[in-house]
Structure 1
Amino acid sequence: MAKATMLTYLDEQLTKQLPDYDVAIDWDVKNHSVELVIRLFAENPAQLHLDDAEGVASEEAIIEFEDGILLVDPKKSKYDVADYLAVYPYEGKKGLRQGELDALVTYLKEVMDEGLSDLMDFLNDDDAAEVFELHWDREQFAELVRSNEVKGLTTYLPYPAY
């Protein structure tokens, strides 16, 4: 059996921990980055007229919201932080520690659970916020990482070879 990489481990954990969500892994070999593309779907029963981030209007019965988390090699990857919910560095070929990946999946589930609830409120509650977006709390995520380090989850899972 081949040794786990940060990609294979991440895929396995996302499948186990987030079976009810649409999360895809997009590995950009040339940019040395890994994007977790996350999608939330919700019914728009009143078929409210909604504008997306680019100003495209929609009155669809099912709303699809998409965002992303980007894992980057800070020395090689090119990206715009504003395009992502969160950007998190890995250590080149060394990759990421298991505790960091576990924290990422655990916190992503929390963000998506809360986000889906907020999206439903946004679509069904006249008093809800005028803008819907997911929220990533860097400190809360960092606390999960620290907690996993205390548990001894410090083994590095390497960046995959092409």
Structure 2
Amino acid sequence: MKTNMLTYLDELLTKKISDYDVALDWDKKNHTIMLVLRLFAENKEKVMIDDANGVASEEEVIEFEDGILLFNPQKSQFEEEDYLAVLPYEGKKGMPKAMLNGLVDYLRVVLDDGQSDLLDFLTDETAEVFELKFNNDVLLSFVNSHQTKDDDSYIPYPTY
């Protein structure tokens, strides 16, 4: 089987971020691949927390979910503010291998920091909002660390 963005990302995520709940959601009709990121934290004090939709919860385990959307600028429809980050790919050509490698390496940092921030959020009564932080400049530094002269190859978008 030929490697594509889905199989390549799945392999990388399994290898590098197996201790977090990260899933891939391929929307063929919308030409998008979403990396679904989930963090969990024990809410021992049963702190009352409102989610993004204003629904209050004092569950023992808090689940936080966000996503990074890989999209086709010519075909995909979405609301950018619904995602932690949105990154374009080049149609059937896909995405540069260095971009996918850098993204997964940076995701590890985003999730590590996010897990720590979520635990802090649950114990800090003055904290009002918890959200993951994503910085495109930091992403680019990870991507650049993967770029070598002979590896500007692309991983293609999956075919049906």
TM-score normalised by the chain length of structure 1: 0.95
Give, in whole Å, the separation in 1 of the partners of 2:149 and 2:62: 40
| Structure 2 runs not aligned, ≥5 long | none
2:145 is matched with which residue: 139, 144, 147?
147
1:34 maps to 2:19: no
Residue aligning to 1:83: 82
Give the letter aligned to residue 75 of structure 1. Q
2:135 is matched with which residue: 137, 143, 146?
137
Cα RMSD of the aligned pairs, angstroms, is 1.1
Give the letter aligned to residue 144 of structure 1. F
How big is each residue's C-alpha offset from its partner over 1:96-115, in whole Å with a ceiling of 9 and x where there is no partner?
11110001100011000000
Count of aligned positions: 160
More moved, 95-104 vs 145-154: 145-154
Give, in whole Å, the separation in 2 of the partners of 1:3 and 1:39: 29
Q: How does 1:33-72 map to 2 (within 5 A)?
A: 33-72=32-71
Residue aligning to 2:92: 93
Offset at residue 149 of structure 1 (A) = 1.7
CA distance 1:8–1:65, change in 2 (3 Å): same
Q: Secondary structure at the match of 1:38?
A: strand
Offset at residue 152 of structure 1 (A) = 4.1
More moved, 11-20 vs 138-147: 138-147
Offset at residue 156 of structure 1 (A) = 0.6
Give the letter aligned to residue 24 of structure 1. A
Q: How does 1:3-42 map to 2 (within 5 A)?
A: 3-42=2-41
Alignment identity in percent? 57
Give, in whole Å, the separation in 2 of the partners of 1:150 and 1:130: 43
